[in-house]
Amino acid sequence: MSEKKSLMHVFTAHEDDMVFEEPYNVSGRRIFPWPGAVEEPFWGGAWVDVAPGETSTAHHHDENEMFFITEGSGVMRIGDETRRVRAGETVFITPYQDHDLTNDGETRLRFVTIWWGGAEAIARERAKWAAVFEIDDPSGPVNSRVVAGVSA
């Protein structure tokens, strides 16, 4: 008799699961890779904590990104704009926009971040579909009929 494979996979991001990421000045737990549970998708995600009185390191990248604020409050900066954010709010960050998040409170500021659409993820996705459709050059020109799934 074969062993039943679990359908439920639980990912934890409790305080003792978090790892300080010096380049970003935050503690976090990246959701992927998630061995034995979920194949790595073409997007990334993490739970992130900004300590009281701290600011995440300003940075930008080629992905779209969303912050889902789950605990605490602070000041979000994207480019020259700032806005107070708090638990229950979602922030969308477009590619190449310098951004950081300041926790000006007395408790941790926690958020879930999801990012997608960067060059690395697109290259992996193109390579996957090139293999499926037996296309020789996954970096060649994009055929809009194939990508969109409709005739031009």
Q: What is the pLDDT along the chain (152 residues), one digit of tens a residue?
A: 567 777 788 889 999 999 999 999 999 999 988 777 777 678 889 999 999 999 999 999 999 999 999 999 999 999 999 999 999 999 999 999 999 999 999 999 999 999 998 888 788 778 878 888 887 765 655 544 344 443 33
Residue 75's Cβ-side half-sphere holds a number of Cα atoms within 13 Å equal to 11
Q: Is 9 exposed, middle or buried (0-12, 13-18, 19+ CB in 10 A)?
A: exposed
Tell me whether strands 81-86 and 26-30 are parallel, antiparallel or unpaired.
unpaired
Q: How far from the centroid of its chain's Cα atoms is residue 42's Cα? A: 10
Tally of residues, the chain: 152
